[in-house]
């Protein structure tokens, strides 16, 4: 497995591969890899002949310095996982490579995709994401890039950006992978104590209950949101950052759920921020619900 830390080296490798006819699949990550990442890598392998993974904790997408400082770092374990997975190259840039002194260029997405949910909760977050993804694309020169559906607003924003800017990359979306207990896999889950983890399970369980209510005919957004809140706010140390019903077409907040809506929530559990969502009316997300 090749390792590169400069843009010149990374790009030279990709260009050589492409000249030899390779199709490059790319999975950008911030490390602290879990099965969710591995499933994206396997998906990339299905359509690409070479797979590149980047590990870079991008400072410009963190609105909170403490969150950045506490973001889990497990580089050696990550590299072992990637080697075992048969990844061809890893891109490990430093902050100096990505944002040298005098760095000045940012990508802004305006409109409905960036005026709600995580965009409001984390000011500047998606500007940082859009910018670093474009930079990583310029270094890796992928034909295909795979992003996880758990961060569904991010996926929509990146797809929009790629389409708007004509970036020559095919964006694919990988399904959310869950722990056996239903918690969506996330690098941040490592920061949960056993007790916090129990509280966190209210998030997928609440989404599942809300979806069940939707399937049973409930359309009032506030009532659906309450299903989630009820599962979470019974615990000390749990704060709902947002919980909204969003119609995907137009990315609009709605008060009455209609087909094609997502119920999305972000929650702080003992200071750890977790996000999850469910497509209302979709099959369940794999959480066992105890019938009352």
Query: Under the criterion CB under 8 A, does residue 107 sit at the interface with a second copy?
Result: yes
60 in contact with a second copy (CB under 8 A): no
Order the strands of the 272-279 sheet from edge to edge: 252-253, 238-247, 261-269, 272-279
Pick 168 or 237: Cβ nearer a second copy? 168
Asked if 113 touches a second copy (CB under 8 A), the answer is yes
Q: Is 11 an interacting residue with respect to a second copy (CB under 8 A)?
A: yes
Distance from C-alpha of 282 to C-alpha of 267, rounded to nearest angstrom: 22
Instruction: For residue 177, state whether it binds a second copy (rule: CB under 8 A).
Output: no
Residue with smaller CB distance to a second copy, 43 or 134: 134
Out of 66, 76, 101, 110, the residue judged to bind a second copy by CB under 8 A: 110
Interface region with a second copy, contact rule CB under 8 A, candidates 54-62, 132-140, 238-246, 258-266:
132-140
Contact between 209 and a second copy per CB under 8 A: no
- Angular region, 58: left φ>0, alpha ψ -120 to 50, beta rest: beta
| Nearest residue to 228 (alpha-carbon basis) of 178, 175, 185, 266 | 266
Nearest Cα neighbor of 53 from 37, 77, 68 is 37
- Side-chain-facing half-sphere of 113: CA atoms under 13 Å: 19
Cβ of residue 135: shortest distance to a second copy, in angstroms? 5
Q: Is the separation of the CB atoms in 100 and 63 below 8 Å?
A: no
Closer CB to a second copy, residue 54 or residue 196?
A: 54
Q: How far apart are the C-alpha atoms of 26 and 171, rounded to whole Å?
A: 10
Angstrom distance (rounded) from CA 219 to CA 96: 50
- Which residues have a catalytic role annotated? 37
Q: Which of 168, 259, 271, 281 binds a second copy (CB under 8 A)?
A: 168
The distance of closest approach from Cβ of residue 45 to a second copy in the complex, given in angstroms and rounded to an integer, is 23
Of 130 and 200, the one with the shorter C-beta distance to a second copy is 130
**Nearest residue to 209 (alpha-carbon basis) of 239, 183, 231:** 231
What six digits make up the tokens of 242?
A: 């947002």
260 binds a second copy (CB under 8 A): no
Instruction: In whole angstroms, give the CA distance from residue 30 to residue 56.
Output: 5
96 is a site residue for a second copy (CB under 8 A): no
Part in contact with a second copy (CB under 8 A); list of ranges 23-31, 127-135, 235-243, 280-288: 127-135
Q: Is 22 in the site for a second copy (CB under 8 A)?
A: no
Radius of gyration of the chain (CA): 19
- Residues forming contacts to a second copy in the complex (CB under 8 A) are 7, 11, 102-111, 113-114, 130-131, 134-139, 141, 160-161, 164-168
């Amino acid at each position: 497995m090749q390792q590169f830390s400069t843009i010149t080296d990374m790009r030279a490798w990709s260009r050589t591969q492409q000249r030899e006819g390779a199709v490059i699949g790319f999975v950008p990550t911030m490390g602290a890899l879990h099965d969710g990442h591995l499933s994206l890598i396997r998906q990339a392998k299905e359509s690409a002949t070479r797979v590149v993974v980047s590990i870079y904790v991008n400072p410009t997408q963190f609105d909170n310095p403490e969150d950045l400082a506490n973001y889990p770092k497990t580089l050696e374990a990550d590299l072992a996982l990637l080697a075992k997975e048969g990844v061809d190259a890893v891109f490990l840039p430093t902050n100096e490579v990505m944002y040298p002194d005098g760095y000045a260029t940012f990508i802004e997405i305006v409109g409905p995709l960036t005026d709600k949910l995580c965009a409001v909760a984390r000011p500047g977050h998606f500007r940082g994401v859009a910018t670093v993804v474009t930079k990583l694309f310029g270094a890796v020169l992928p034909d295909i890039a795979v992003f996880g559906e758990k961060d569904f607003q991010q996926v929509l924003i990146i797809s929009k950006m790629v389409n708007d800017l004509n970036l020559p990359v095919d964006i694919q979306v990988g399904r959310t992978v869950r722990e056996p207990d239903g918690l969506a896999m996330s690098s941040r889950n490592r920061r949960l104590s056993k007790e916090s983890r129990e509280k966190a399970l209210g998030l997928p369980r609440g989404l599942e209950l809300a979806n069940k209510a939707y399937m049973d005919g409930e359309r009032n957004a506030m009532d659906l949101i309450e299903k989630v809140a009820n599962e979470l706010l019974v615990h000390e140390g749990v704060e709902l950052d947002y919980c909204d019903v969003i119609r995907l077409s137009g990315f609009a907040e709605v008060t009455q759920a209609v087909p094609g809506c997502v119920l999305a929530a972000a929650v702080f559990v003992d200071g750890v921020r977790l996000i999850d969502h469910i497509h209302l009316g979709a099959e369940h997300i794999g959480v066992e619900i105890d019938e009352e």
